[in-house]
Chain A
């Protein structure tokens, strides 16, 4: 046994980027509002995303009220119902999930986890947030314009999206939606460039790519994907905006509306679907990969065990990222396509299940005989695994053309994607907030409130979405304002729908308790100390908690080991921090 102490400067490889202090903020405005510090930008991103997410939550309540108790709430007109659907989906997928994973966790964790003082382009990073905020405000503004927001469904399929039959189609709603998306993408590109270059160039000495925590790998890969996928949505949005405002016909075929021939003609609506889903499918993994990464770290920390198959986990993340670009047309089976085309996309879709299954096995094997602490982050991580497996399995059904075609427009699909990319990533977001809140604020979140939040959310989500699969299999179509009792549905589902709606109301209320907890614990939470979970990664080793400007005090940390040295035999503590220079040799081995 022997300790090898590396002194700074002795035989160290040079830094990739010179160690300079990021610019200091001037005054209150510079420090707290127009901050260029990634940590503040992260909090701004996360708070904005949670605030707009609350709007989407209320919209889902209203939808469920209509579906569960049709005809009782007069203010929910068919138009309003479609607007609720559209805004709920768009906000949740883009303005909440994408923004909080990349803008929120990405900004907070990347510089701290790779041992950097800040992002490499702090000014551009600040712009990224303010453009995101502008995008959110434009989106919110669409609630207040005549005609209200667009009701075209979150996929905004033309031609209906910009015709008068759709709420907001001939008013300002769709225009504001498209402008907001364009702004979001511009803002995201600014942030995304930062995340990628920071991971590539600002890692501290010793932090090789294969020593990065999986959280960073997940966010990094997702950002690369987002940078390449969002241009498709950008192009689609600009083209549709031209169609709506300037009268072009990119996506508009010749149309007759109310017996009157419109001036459109010659465009292809299918082209929009290709562009939209070329973005839309990678988007699923843009949300899922950061969740995969974060959950790997939560499981390793709270099971006090190294992650099983680290290399395989990294490869799987990269392979999933690459494959997700060649599966987009599985969202378009019902749009009509060449059978071989469908065959190709069904095959690629099923192949993605392989790396994904590898990840699930590795999480389970990490838990196997681990020292599992059922802390709140761990509970949410376990809930994620179960939920993701559930949602993933129905994905295997729907990936096949013959199964997808009859199920495509039913509630089964709604249940599937809510499980796999709604509930599952949200579980990780909650787990991650419970995990990193002590580092961000220096205080623990209240445990009792957290337990209520977890159990109500977890059990409630299953109460909502398990019956919904059945409702879909029975044949209830999605996006119907009111069903009545049609002949093609053999079993009445009214009671089940009412049950789902009550569950949705209760689960929503639990989220408000969570938001209350976030504020309450800021003042009244238990002091956490610098490293309450006894974790190895660099963000827990900062000289101050919460980390100050520049993160690391005098000198950058040096990294001596990978991120998962938990329960190492022969070590003094049950974890060895990444910047701890101690060397442990297995018993019996001579120095």
Chain B
């Protein structure tokens, strides 16, 4: 459970930082009148805050999966699944899609509709390529004998990449809705925030993917061994 605890420690630090700004030591029973709110201004829009909190939940989800994965390594030592080379190509494609969405967010901020449409199309297409690539990677693995119902290490690979893919798919639905709202005649200013949120979501899922790759390839093992020795 070391990964979950490390993730929660990060969140606790963030929550603690926020709490520290809430005047927890004030004496509300002595104060009357309207006081300024202690939140930073201009305030974060609710959608942005909502997405950050949602990302924390998604982070918790994958931290749990990672923890379960590591717990199993402890319980029953096994060989890690050899990752198909295609997974590295997929990773590159996902990085690319993240870059495209960042360009889209910048284009939206400057009101460049043409560039915005282009980069959204490129982002969507590269994400699609990533998903197809992941499914192909599954096929490569199954043909090489690592079945879903085989050793737990393989099962974990399918489960975790599958859930990650589902989150990407959900992001694509959201991006599609944003894009529809960008239909000719709408002002890009309105869409700016929404596109920026899409980009943020893509970056987060890319980050999660990189951490997962580290787990699958065993890079993380040394760090984890260190964490475990500290936590025990």
Contacts and interface: CB of A to CB of B under 8 A. Distances in A.
Given A231-B57, A242-B155, A268-B71, A278 B64 contact: yes
Given A121-B50, A200-B49, A278 B4 contact: yes
Decide if the interface of chain B is mainly helix, strand, loop or mixed. helix
B33 A560 contact: yes
Contacts of B29: 306, 310, 562, 564-565
Given A120-B46, A197-B46, A239 B34 contact: no
Contact of B155 (A203, A250, A564): A250
A549 to B, nearest CB: 20
Interface string B56-87: 11001101110110011001101000000000
A14 B38 CA distance: 12
Which residue, B37, B39, B45, B61, has most C-beta atoms of chain A within 10 A? B37
Interface stretch (A29-37, A146-154, A205-213, A364-372): A205-213
B32 interface: yes
Nearest to B66: A235
A315 interface: yes
Contacts of A310: 28-29
Given A239-B159, A270-B75, A201 B43 contact: yes
B232 A271 contact: no
A231 B64 contact: yes
Interface string A231-261: 1101100110010001111100000000000
Interface residues of A, number: 67
Given A210-B22, A228-B11, A266 B64 contact: no
Given A210-B26, A247-B149, A311-B24, A235 B61 contact: yes
A4 interface: yes
B49 A274 contact: no
Interface in A307-360: 310-311, 314-315, 318, 322, 325-326, 338, 340-341
Given A197-B49, A201-B43, A268-B76, A234 B38 contact: no
B152 A227 contact: no
A275 interface: yes
Interface in A1-43: 4, 6, 12-14, 16-17
A201 B49 contact: yes
Nearest to A203: B37
B50 A120 contact: yes
B163 A238 contact: yes
Interface string A548-587: 0000000000111110110000000000000000010000
Contacts of B163: 238
B223 interface: no
A271 B45 CA distance: 39
A583 B34 CA distance: 12
A234 B12 CA distance: 21
A382 to B, nearest CB: 24
Which residue, A197, A267, A275, has most C-beta atoms of chain B within 10 A? A197
Which residue, B41, B46, B232, has most C-beta atoms of chain A within 10 A? B46
B25 A12 contact: no
Contacts of B35: 13, 206, 208
Contact of B68 (A197, A200, A205, A235): A235
B93 to A, nearest CB: 26
B53 interface: yes
Contacts of A86: none
A562 B65 CA distance: 43
B27 to A, nearest CB: 7
Given A121-B46, A210-B22, A234 B61 contact: yes
A208 B38 contact: yes
A544 interface: no
B149 A231 contact: no
A193 interface: yes
Nearest to A562: B28
Contacts of A211: 28
B141 to A, nearest CB: 14
A193 B71 contact: no
Contacts of B155: 242, 248-250
A189 interface: yes
B54 interface: yes
Contacts of B60: 227-228, 231-232
A123 to B, nearest CB: 12
Given A246-B149, A267-B72, A278 B1 contact: yes
A228 B53 contact: no
Contacts of B61: 231, 234-235
B24 A210 contact: yes
Contacts of B57: 189, 193, 227-228, 231
7 A-B pairs with least C-beta separation: A247-B149, A268-B75, A562-B28, A206-B34, A248-B155, A231-B61, A209-B22
Interface of B: 1, 4-5, 8, 11-12, 15, 19, 22-29, 31-39, 41, 43-46, 49-50, 53-54, 56-57, 60-61, 63-65, 67-68, 71-72, 75-76, 78, 148-149, 151-152, 155-156, 159, 163, 232
19 contacts: A13-B36, A13-B37, A17-B46, A189-B54, A193-B53, A193-B57, A206-B35, A228-B60, A250-B159, A267-B76, A275-B67, A278-B1, A311-B26, A311-B27, A318-B19, A326-B5, A558-B34, A561-B31, A565-B29
